[in-house]
Amino acid sequence: MTEAARVMVVDDDRAIRWVLERALAQPDLAVECVERADRVLERLLEDPPDVLVTDIRMPGIDGLDLMARVREAHPELPVIVMTAHSDLDSAVASYQGGAFEYLPKPFDVDEALALVRRAVAHARERQRPVHAPDGLDTEIIGEAPAMQEVFRAIGRLAQSHITVLINGESGTGKERVAQALHQHSPRAGKPFIALNMAAIPRDLIESELFGHEKGAFTGATAQRQGRFEQADGGTLFLDEIGDMPAETQTRLLRVLADGEFYRVGGHTPVKVDVRIIAATHQDLEHLVDEGRFREDLFHRLNVIRVHLPRLADRREDIPRLARHFLAEAAKELSTDVKVLTPEAEAHLTRLAWPGNVRQLENTCRWLTVMASGREVLVEDLPPELREGDEGGAAGDWRLAFRDWADRALAAGHTHLLEEAVPDFERILIETALKHTGGRKGEAAELLGWGRNTLTRKLKTLLPEMAED
């Protein structure tokens, strides 16, 4: 049986001590309440509790001073700071002093108990060694089959100068793949230049790509090289190519065909040797059909296509990616590496991640700054990621259904439709009847069936309800 966690409460307010002593009187907690910090400081330094809860403003040693002294000797001790003076300065001073969490008075008793329990969970893990994951310098992480296909494509193209089109949703890592293609090509020693078509105003795109001569337009006070010239001998990555205006598409096509162009306002051709890697989250074939993208340019770009999967389609990579991004964020912010608990890791793996790898990376950066302790619990996640599995099984049933099919086929199941369709229909019928209070005619209408169809399905799938 796990030993009860020791919690010390320091507050000169008798009422607060009384409330916390009773709220924290739990089988898994051993609580001690004291009035003044100076009377227990020596004992705190010699034999610290698992969690310290302290007020800020007290006679003698105040809470911030107490926290500083205790954390100097025991830096891993989680300290929860309470104060009735719930202003910004108090909160900032608490966090700057290394507080685990800040609890403004008056507080909800259940919230205080949950916070202490969370601090205890972190304290239990404080002796666990933390190691940065291997391969921090890895260009792309991916063990999922879909990512292995991407790696194979990069390998096959390693010695090639051929044009590549990368397809994938926003945030899937298209620029990283483009950089990897460049780094593993004969052009690796030359520039890699990236330009996002969607981020450039339409009237500046041609100047960005091809440069301009002095006086070519208002504000052009000097000659300027464009991205093509900057990338000469290397690789030009054109992200969101589907957003390129029609007139620029025409000029790009000429460059790809002739290897030369004119600066805006120029009359002398400029020759370049540039490999083009383009990327888009859009369906270029559909844009061609709609007349919004030149068909001849599409065929020029679509020599080799690499498809990047959504993060939700490579869930087995999420734990390793998260460890990688947490280590990167810690290095970037010069702080300790956060570690996900198994529960938090499993929770993240179930989410939908509509923002894909970029969203996961930003979440890890957020956790590095905002999570209270070294161990990241489910409760430490951003609120929008915390509730259930809304991104996975609950939020998009298709993802859960896809996962089930993948697992079933991997396990050797056959005749999946015979297994899935009856369950699918049974769930829909039960839910529709629940919404109509058992009225079958209304339930049939909700499902888009006739009354006779519902009656027949009930006899087969839910015979106990057929006669009701």
CATH number at residue 373: 1.10.8.60
First to last CA, the chain: 51
Claim to verify: residue 182 and residue 282 sit in the same structural domain: yes
Q: Which two tokens stand for residue 128?
A: 């666990």
Lowest mean pLDDT among 79-88, 233-242, 302-311: 79-88
Is residue 400 situated within a structural domain?
no
Is residue 140 situated within a structural domain?
no
Condensed to tens digits (0 to 9), the pLDDT of residues 56-68 reads: 888 888 888 888 8
Mean pLDDT of 91-111: 76
User: What's the CATH number where 418 sits?
Assistant: 1.10.10.60
pLDDT at 387: 66
| 68, 97 contact by CB (below 8 A) | yes
To 10 degrees, what angle do helices 14-23 and 109-124 make?
A: 70
Mean pLDDT of 284-310: 93
Condensed to tens digits (0 to 9), the pLDDT of residues 28-47 reads: 889 999 988 888 888 888 88
- Position 364 pLDDT exceeds 80: yes
Query: Considering the entire predicted model, what is its pTM?
Result: 0.62
Mean pLDDT of 320-348: 92
Q: Which two tokens stand for residue 63?
A: 């809470």
With cut-offs at 50, 70 and 90, classify the pLDDT of residue 87.
low
Is residue 201 situated within a structural domain?
yes
Claim to verify: residue 92 and residue 150 sit in the same structural domain: no
Condensed to tens digits (0 to 9), the pLDDT of residues 167-214 reads: 999 999 999 999 999 988 999 999 999 999 888 888 888 888 998 888
Claim to verify: residue 183 and residue 297 sit in the same structural domain: yes
Claim to verify: residue 198 and residue 241 sit in the same structural domain: yes
Domain tally for the chain? 4
Q: Which of 319, 312, 306, 229 is nearest to 266 (CA)?
A: 229
Lowest mean pLDDT among 105-109, 112-116, 295-299: 105-109
- Position 363 pLDDT exceeds 90: yes
Q: What is the largest CA-CA distance in the chain?
A: 87
Kind and range of the H or E element at 451?
helix 451-461
Claim to verify: residue 167 and residue 117 sit in the same structural domain: no
- What pairs with residue 29 in β-bridges? 5
Task: Print burial letters for 433-447: b (CB count within 10 Å at least 16), e (below 16).
Answer: beeeeeebeebbebb
- Position 136 pLDDT exceeds 50: no
- Position 135 pLDDT exceeds 50: no
SS3 label, residue 433: helix
Among 387, 415, 446, the domain-final residue is 387
Residue with the bigger pLDDT between 331 and 133: it is 331
User: What's the CATH number where 212 sits?
Assistant: 3.40.50.300
Tokens 């923002």, residue?
Answer: 355
pLDDT at 240: 93
Condensed to tens digits (0 to 9), the pLDDT of residues 374-400 reads: 889 888 899 888 864 444 444 456 666
pLDDT at 187: 93
Claim to verify: residue 156 and residue 288 sit in the same structural domain: yes
Integer-rounded Cα radius of gyration of the chain: 30
Claim to verify: residue 98 and residue 214 sit in the same structural domain: no
Q: Which domain, by its residues, includes 61?
A: 5-127
pLDDT at 134: 41
Q: Which two tokens stand for residue 344?
A: 């938090």
Claim to verify: residue 302 and residue 166 sit in the same structural domain: yes
Mean pLDDT of 444-468: 81
Q: How high is the mean pLDDT of the chain?
A: 84
Mean pLDDT of 116-130: 69
| Distance separating alpha carbons of residues 126 and 167, to the nearest angstrom | 43
pLDDT at 94: 64
User: What's the CATH number where 31 sits?
Assistant: 3.40.50.2300
| DSSP label at residue 414 | -
Claim to verify: residue 50 and residue 13 sit in the same structural domain: yes
- Position 133 pLDDT exceeds 50: no
Kind and range of the H or E element at 53?
strand 51-55
Condensed to tens digits (0 to 9), the pLDDT of residues 247-272 reads: 999 999 999 988 888 888 888 899 99
Express as a percent the part of the chain with pLDDT over 70: 88
Residue with the bigger pLDDT between 129 and 142: it is 142
| DSSP label at residue 2 | P
Is residue 132 situated within a structural domain?
no
Claim to verify: residue 165 and residue 300 sit in the same structural domain: yes
Claim to verify: residue 120 and residue 169 sit in the same structural domain: no
pLDDT at 166: 95
Among 387, 419, 443, the domain-final residue is 387
| 116, 80 contact by CB (below 8 A) | yes
Among 352, 387, 422, the domain-final residue is 387
Mean pLDDT of 359-368: 94
Mean pLDDT of 415-433: 83
With cut-offs at 50, 70 and 90, classify the pLDDT of residue 162.
very high
Claim to verify: residue 296 and residue 177 sit in the same structural domain: yes
Burial of 126 (0-12, 13-18, 19+ CB in 10 A): middle
